[in-house]
Structure 1
Amino acid sequence: MAVGGTGRLALLRKAAGHTQKTFVTDFTHEASRLNIAASVSVRQLRRWESEEPSPLPHPGQQIVLEAMFGIPISEMGFAVPPHRLSLAAPISNPGTVKRRTFVADVGALVAAPLSGIGPGARIGTADLTRLRTRVDDLYQTDHTTGSVPAMAQARRIENEIGNALGVSSYTSRIGRELHSMLAALYSHQAWYGYDGGRLAEGRTACMEALAAAQMIDDPLRQISVLEILALIAVKAGRTWEAASAVESAYRLARQAGAGPTVHLVIALREANVATHNGDLSGARRALSRAVSHQSRMDTDTEVPPWAKFVGPFEVDYATADLYLRGGRPRKALPFLRAATRGMGSDLARNSASYRAKLAHVLLAAGEVDEACAEMTTVIRASGRISSPRLTDRIHDFQSAAGQMKSRVARDCAMRIRETRQEGSP
């Protein structure tokens, strides 16, 4: 059954996921972004959606409504006089009025897959929802199967969003969401570069992510990029850059009023930088701050997705690094054991990587049987995980074990070699 009058406006509002109250709030934000003195009340919105004939929005309200939905108000069910009609023509055409461009047959385009959208097509709320789900799924892909398949998936999504931003029509709100997702994708790719040892590639992705996050003024996303940049810079020997990234992250966190979880991530990166520099007293101070933030994580009301991975096991792991840097591997072992056992089963890639490091330290400490038992667990899990960093750790353990006099160690090295050969194409 066709919907006449401004019942169409109610359908559009609901399709965008708004109640009448949240729509009024979003309307106010959109008007502010457009620098237009326009507002609407819940009462007025109800009149627009229910009365026949409905009161015509004034010109300022018209601009905001058309920006929010990406269609002329005539397609929202309002009776619009000819002089108020918005043009449906490319704004670059010579001789036409430079006004908002709209696309006809919006409903059909919203239902189309994003990858099929061509020049002039409109990006709608349904497209955003599908894209956001796919971007969020990258965390699961990376944690369960590794950075290699996650990178391939991220690049496909990046191409689709880049195409949409370049040739499609969308409201300012939807454009901001697309740029936000692009920033998230670059952040993911920066991490994959770090995990894969492609440090220059990861750093480039960090710069792209920072630019995208700054464009939409998203300080929390900038922090997520800076914490990855700190890791990459440490690995590349650019310790000054790593320290600067940490300081910038702290500044943004203060400005944004970030909670203890975000501050915990930054403190851990600060500890990582100090440990790498041999500043063990600085690393201890950073870890003390990390413990304080960790104890208050349950007070966080909102945690960004990129920070949800962090937990007590990360603090234990960083503490173990501190002891290893100080030449005290046996003091590090309890913390490494606690880190591997305190990690959730959904973090398969991290779990295998942590266990591989534990196996290395155990081997160096002469705990050969336990080291080989840990590495056996890693090998069993690694067949489902494609992570260059994990592969390197397994290879290093194999080399070290193969050179030992212990028969247990040499047998373990042989099993690793055979398993890797069986898994080779």
Structure 2
Amino acid sequence: MIREPFGQALRRIRGAKGRSLRQLAKAAPVDVALLSRIENGRQSASESVARAVDRALGADGELINIQRLEAAQRPRKAVASDPMRRRTLMTGAVATAFAGLVPPPMAGASPGRVGSSDAGRLQTSAVRLYALDYQHGGETLWQAALSHVAEGYSMLEHGLYGPTVEARLLKATAQVQMCAGWLAFDSGRHDVARSCYTEALALAKQAGDSEVETHALANLAFQANVLGNPRQGSRLAEAADRAAALSEGFPRLPIIPQLRLALAAALTGDASASGRALTRARRVLDRDGDKPTQEWCTFLTPAELDGLDGTCALELRQSDRAIRLLSDAVAAHGDPYARNRALYRVRLARALLDASEPGEAAASALAALDDLQGSVVSWRVSSELDDVARRLTPHVRDQAVANFVSRYTGGHTDPASTEGNV
């Protein structure tokens, strides 16, 4: 029997060391929202997380031992590689769609002769996964994408094909690798995401494919921005912009690097540079908006640019502008883009808090919870919502705020119940 749960032990040791949750997250490094969920008992710690925080806190193996005891006492489940194991993690429409996206295990067998249709099948799987991500977030989907990545590599290494098929297969595997990276990123699996992006970049170099190269560099830039490294994000975005200049016939593609540059500039407080990058992005959309584009670029609509423009305004502390743009973005995102709508609702709540409007912020955060109730599972949405909940807690005398905090914490409105989110 475990005398003290891992989350409680983590909070005790962290407090004794005088470390805030954010300081620990940076030192480990582990996502702060994940640590918050672990401390509050809403999620179990993996051994890798236990090792990281044990090392960062100098706990001499105490946290590792507790995690191992907890893991040993949990009921055993089917092996993770079994598609039926994956389906138990999902419900409803997501599970139904996911079941058809996991390829059968190849069990080490040679795939034999490979044709263009096999590459096309990989690309189609990526398209379907992106569509599900827009609706539900990446949490329940990234494993499926990695299954297709493994299938692509198996065909490349063991299949029989000619030069034309090889080129198509390299591109298709790189595209599904990018999809896996994006879904892993949206699930907070940053090490998996970075590995996928760098592997896709290597495949793009082998294939001489500037489109995938642009995509990989732009996503690495986005990840750097989100993880608090905007100078690295800016450098990667500039490299993506150079790669995009070599790509012809890919409408909307040049928008992506400009959006990454805009956010990197906003994060460093450079409003002028951020504005210039956003202006360039809108000009490309005005030029290419009516042209057919790759599936992973279809989210680049005027509504999405409003949302990203509003995000930059939020980082630049331009509250009124952020509220206007984010409100427009929320209104324009329908159910097929429920994940993005939830994200912009949370950011609108942040902007309203900056403008000293806690009641309206709580209303926006409640609407985001409604989207999450609709099977959206996204690390980005959840981590930003954790921060909003922390900021709203001191305003619980406002009825709208009290309603949100009560629903968010499952009825526990004591401000101390959100201490782990600080």
TM-score of the superposed pair, with normalisation by structure 2? 0.67
SS at match of 1:296: helix
Q: Distance in 1 between matches of 2:139 and 2:104?
A: 25
Contact 2:218/2:260, CA 8 A, preserved across alignment: yes
- 1:408 equivalent to 2:396? Answer no
Contact 1:114/1:127, CA 8 A, preserved across alignment: no
Aligned to 1:207: 198
Q: How many residues align?
A: 308
CA deviation after TM superposition for structure 1 residue 335, in Å: 0.7
CA deviation after TM superposition for structure 1 residue 151, in Å: 0.4
- Residue 373 to residue 150, structure 1, CA distance change in 2 (3 Å): same
CA deviation after TM superposition for structure 1 residue 217, in Å: 1.0
- Residue 137 to residue 174, structure 1, CA distance change in 2 (3 Å): same
Matches within 5 A, 1:205-284: 205-257=196-248, 261-284=252-275
Matches within 5 A, 1:4-43: none
Matches within 5 A, 1:328-339: 328-339=318-329
SS at match of 2:312: helix
SS at match of 1:256: coil
SS at match of 1:278: coil
- Residue 294 to residue 181, structure 1, CA distance change in 2 (3 Å): same
Tell me how large the CA RMSD over aligned residues is. Answer: 2.5
TM-score of the superposed pair, with normalisation by structure 1? 0.66
Contact 1:117/1:168, CA 8 A, preserved across alignment: no
CA deviation after TM superposition for structure 1 residue 120, in Å: 6.3
Contact 2:266/2:315, CA 8 A, preserved across alignment: yes
Unpaired runs of at least 5, structure 2: 1-102, 413-422
1:263 partner letter: P
- 1:356 equivalent to 2:346? Answer yes
- Residue 366 to residue 236, structure 1, CA distance change in 2 (3 Å): closer
Contact 2:241/2:254, CA 8 A, preserved across alignment: yes
1:186 pairs with 168, 177, 180, which one?
177
Matches within 5 A, 1:23-422: 115=106, 118-119=109-110, 121-257=112-248, 261-298=252-289, 300=291, 302-383=292-373, 384-404=375-395, 405-418=397-410
CA deviation after TM superposition for structure 1 residue 258, in Å: 5.1
Aligned to 2:42: none
SS at match of 1:169: coil
Alpha-carbon displacement from aligned partner over 1:310-343 (angstroms, at most 9, x marks no partner): 1112322233233323323123111110111122
SS at match of 2:253: helix
Q: Distance in 1 between matches of 2:130 and 2:160?
A: 29
- Residue 238 to residue 402, structure 1, CA distance change in 2 (3 Å): closer
Contact 1:402/1:414, CA 8 A, preserved across alignment: no
Higher RCO structure (Cα 8 Å, ≥6 apart): 2
Name the stretch that deviates more: 410-419 or 211-220.
Answer: 410-419
Alpha-carbon displacement from aligned partner over 1:287-319 (angstroms, at most 9, x marks no partner): 22122222212463x422221111112322233
Aligned to 1:109: none
CA deviation after TM superposition for structure 1 residue 184, in Å: 1.1
Q: Distance in 2 between matches of 1:357 and 1:252?
A: 31
Name the stretch that deviates more: 278-287 or 193-202.
Answer: 193-202
Alpha-carbon displacement from aligned partner over 1:16-57 (angstroms, at most 9, x marks no partner): xxxxxxxxxxxxxxxxxxxxxxxxxxxxxxxxxxxxxxxxxx
Q: Share of identical aligned residues, percent?
A: 26
**Larger-Rg structure:** 1
Q: Distance in 2 between matches of 1:216 and 1:419?
A: 54
1:207 partner letter: T
- Residue 199 to residue 114, structure 1, CA distance change in 2 (3 Å): closer
Unpaired runs of at least 5, structure 1: 1-111, 421-425
Q: Distance in 2 between matches of 1:290 and 1:207?
A: 25
SS at match of 2:335: coil
CA deviation after TM superposition for structure 1 residue 125, in Å: 4.2
Contact 2:349/2:361, CA 8 A, preserved across alignment: yes
Q: Distance in 1 between matches of 2:403 and 2:186?
A: 29
Alpha-carbon displacement from aligned partner over 1:255-313 (angstroms, at most 9, x marks no partner): 2235561222222111111111211111111122122222212463x422221111112
Q: Distance in 2 between matches of 1:260 and 1:166?
A: 32
Q: Distance in 1 between matches of 2:399 and 2:123?
A: 52
1:122 partner letter: R
